[in-house]
Amino acid sequence: MTKDSSSSFKRILVHIVLLVLPLVSRSADPDPLQDFCVADLKGSISINGFPCKTTSEVTSNDFFFDGLSREGNTANKFGWNVTAANVLAFPALNTLGLSMNRVDFAPGGVNPPHSHPRSTEAVFVLKGKLLVGFVSTANILYSKVVTPGQMFVIPRGLVHFQRNVGTGKALAITAFNSQLPGSASLPQTLFASKPSIPTDVLTKAFQVDDTVIKHIESQLAS
Ligand SMILES: *[C@@H]1O[C@H](CO)[C@@H](O)[C@H](O)[C@H]1NC(C)=O
């Protein structure tokens, strides 16, 4: 190749790369809308989410939900209850990319450390006094006591918790940028999965002996 033809070759190459780059960046997978979707290679429908109700059968009632108007029962060992307005409870949210929860707390109640794999969470406190916190992947705790009218935001996927630090009940509404955020509760995930995580994984991970693991497991068994 002459010097001239090699530089025009380079110019053409640069043009091809510039043309193809946007295509590459647009061909990423869509975000998942559920925990998993095992392929049925012979299935006639395959979607990420849920199929749609026939439009002629949709009414105003489909877009209405009053499930968050009732207080959840907090008479459990954590003193907390979550009522979900996600796509499973409120089907109109399908494909809209948002959902909400009502979270009730008894005095001293705790929403145990957990994470939402598919969503950021905005916590809006309506009643009481909540300590809300999350831990970043750099292992830094960011937390704040949040009172009525105030908000705290939990970035997508990070482990977080809430605790009622007031004297009475507390109530928060949480909003998600996912129709089904998913929730992995650390105590349940680690100590109450079915089948359970092998004890020697947990004894090593937590640097304790197996009686400690068995004790935690028995406390969480429902
Ligand atoms: C949350 O409250 C609802 C409604 O009172 C109740 O049916 C449900 O069992 C409660 N969940 C827990 C974990 O206590």
Task: Give the tens place of pLDDT for each residue, 174-184.
Answer: 999 999 999 99
Region 152-167: mean pLDDT is 97
pLDDT at 115: 97
74 CA: nearest ligand 1 atom:
14
CB of 72 closer than 6 A to ligand 1? yes
Average pLDDT, the chain: 89
CATH homologous superfamily of 55-182 equals Jelly Rolls (2.60.120.10)
Considering only CA atoms, which of 188, 180, 138, 187 is closest in space to residue 158? 138
Binding residue positions for Mn(2+): 114, 116, 121, 160
CB of 109 closer than 6 A to ligand 1? no
pTM for the structure as a whole:
0.83
* Top-confidence residue, 32 or 129: 129
Classify burial at 94, counting beta carbons within 10 Å of its beta carbon; exposed 0-12, middle 13-18, buried 19 or more: middle
Classify burial at 107, counting beta carbons within 10 Å of its beta carbon; exposed 0-12, middle 13-18, buried 19 or more: middle
- Residue 10 pLDDT > 60: yes
Ligand 1 center to residue 144 CA distance, Å?
Answer: 27
Distance CA 29, CA 14 (A): 26
- Where in the chain are the domains? 55-182, 192-220
Considering only CA atoms, which of 125, 124, 129 is closest in space to residue 109? 129
Distance CA 172, CA 159 (A): 18
Binding residue positions for oxalate: 101, 111, 116, 121
Report the amino acid identity of residue 112: P
